Structure formats: C-alpha cells, structure tokens
Amino acid sequence: MALISIVFYVLQFYQDGAIVKAIGKAFESITVETFSLRYTNFLIFTYDTIHYYRNSGFCWEPGAFGSFLTLALMFNFLINDFKLNKEALIITLAILTTVSTTAYLGVFLLFFLRYRVLNRGSKIAIIIFAVIFALAIPNVPFLGEKVVEIYEQDIRDLKELEQLSVYYEDVERQIPLNRFSSVIFLYEQFNWKLFLGVSNQYDEYYINEFNVNISNGIMDFITKFGLVGLMVLLYRYGKLCRGYLRKTEYVCYSILILLILSFGEPILMLPICVIFIFLPTFKKQDFSALSFDYRSKYLPLKRPNTI
C-alpha cells in the first residue's frame, strides 16, 4: 500500500491531480450520491486539493497515513532486527511524502531508537541528536512554526466557538477542532470524569450544543476510557515492545513514538492500536494442539523474535 501510494502521489502532481480526480469520481459515481469539490477517494488512495503536495495514501488525510506508516515501519524493525530492508526503505520514502509533522517526529525518534538498539549510540551521539532536533524545531516550517500557528489558531477558535457553531451549522459541517483545542475543549467538558472516562459515545454529551470534530487521538481515547484506560493500553504496548527491545530506555522511546503519532490523529481507538492490549498474551499461546497440517501451512517456523 505504501508503494501504491507513492505511484498515485506522483500522478497527483499531473495537471492538478486530473488523473486521480477522474479515477476518484468514477469510483464515487457508484458509491455516493453527492460529490465533494475538493476531495476524492477510491479505496486505495485519497486526493484532497488542500493537501495537493502531500500523500494521503488510503487514509482520510496525510497525517493519519503517516501514523499508519510509522507503526508499520516499527513493526518491520521489531520483526527484522532493525534491518533496513526493502520494505523499510519503501515505507520510509512514503512517510517522507506525507509531509506530516507528527509522522516526521515519530519516524525521527524511531530511527534514533534503531541507532540505540544497534549499539551505535554513545552519550556524545545522543547529544548530537538532541542538538539537531532542537535546531530543527525553530527552523523547519512544519515543525516549530506550524505548531505555534496551530496553537494560536486553536485558542482563537475556542473563544469564538459559539460564532463558529452558527457558521458550520449553516454549511452543515462539524466544527473542526485542532490538536490543542480538542484537548482544552474536552477537558472543559468533562474535567475530573476524564480519570475513568465517559464511554465510547461521549460525543452525545455535547453534540447538541457544539457539533465539533475532535482531532487529538490521546484526548479522544482518554475521554472514552479514561486516563486509566490509556495507562492500560500503554502498559500492554510497552510489554509487547519489551519482548523485542529488552531495555527500559528503548521501551520508553517506543511508547513516546505512539504518543507522538496519536497526538495528531485519533488512531488509538483503531484496531491497529487497540490490538496492542492483546498481542502480549497472544505471543504466549501454545499452538502445539493444532493439527500438523494447519501448523505447517499457516504457522510456519518462526524465529523467537517474531510476532
């Protein structure tokens, strides 16, 4: 899917995305009744004129695609002893085409993790990585500058929420709250209830008053399952990673990667993340009771460090 996305990503630069738009419209003609003027999707690729220079892949927007790709790259590294194989290079290239702040930060930390795991790290090297990262934040537009702009705009949106509510109701759309405004809005709505969460349908509590769209995965998960639920997920995820990474330092990096990715998009509720709760137990299952034919066909001999 990463390779396919790169092909369509190149095509979307041709005549303002004429080819991918045509494919998307043809697909949508048999699936939807109304068409978006800027957005097309045909199952394996999404094109949005707002993100004309970014790769959305099969997701709803580039940031989400970058998050999926970073998780895929992490899985690939864990299973293959952090080798830069063909799959890793293709996925890394696809991540670069998303131009996603969260994906870039996540993959930067992932490669730093690889650097440490392969025992090529020293205190001096860590300092160099930290200095490079610190210098990049204020000088790379989609890092420091973008984050500051998003925060300032989020604060303005929250102050004008009632006016925005009227406008978006007229155009029959939800109010798109961004990363920081999503956190503040949900905290103001539920306060101490966030410790245990208020259920999966928490939007029913406020949707009649403010029809908002949340875009912060961490706060979305906390609101649904509480801070306790998030701690359970991170603990189980860390337990899985420890089987491959062995050192607590490396596990902390892997947890930070997941938090960085989920700060941008609501991915923690999706199966690719919720499955972390169950994988540590699944790895311990004894498949010896299964028939030889089944095991030889579907459970080929695996190395100790594979999922």
Interval 17-40: pLDDT, tens: 788 888 888 888 777 777 677 788
pLDDT at position 206: 64
Give the mean pLDDT of the chain. 81
Position 243 confidence tier, pLDDT thresholds 50, 70, 90:
confident
Q: Is the pLDDT score of 215 beyond 90?
A: no
Q: Is the pLDDT score of 287 beyond 70?
A: no
Position 150 confidence tier, pLDDT thresholds 50, 70, 90:
confident
The dihedrals phi and psi of 29, each to the nearest 5 degrees, come to -65, -20
Q: Where is pLDDT greater, at 198 or 176?
A: 198
Q: Quote the distance between the C-alpha of residue 29 and its chain's center.
A: 30
Interval 62-108: pLDDT, tens: 889 999 999 999 999 998 889 889 999 999 999 999 988 889 989 98
Distance CA 145, CA 150 (A): 9
Position 306 confidence tier, pLDDT thresholds 50, 70, 90:
very low
* CA-CA-CA-CA torsion sign (189, 191, 194, 197): negative
pLDDT at position 252: 93
The share of the chain scoring above pLDDT 70, in percent, equals: 80
**DSSP per position, 83-112:** ---HHHHHHHHHHHHH--HHHHHHHHHHHH
Interval 155-167: pLDDT, tens: 887 777 777 777 7
pLDDT at position 290: 58
Position 147 confidence tier, pLDDT thresholds 50, 70, 90:
low
How do the domains of the chain map onto residue ranges?
2-140
Distance CA 246, CA 280 (A): 14
Q: Where is pLDDT greater, at 127 or 198?
A: 198
Cite the DSSP H helix spans in the chain: 2-11, 18-28, 62-79, 86-98, 101-117, 123-139, 146-159, 161-170, 179-190, 217-245, 248-264, 271-274, 279-283, 292-298
The share of the chain scoring above pLDDT 90, in percent, equals: 24
In this structure, which amino acid lies at residue 299? L
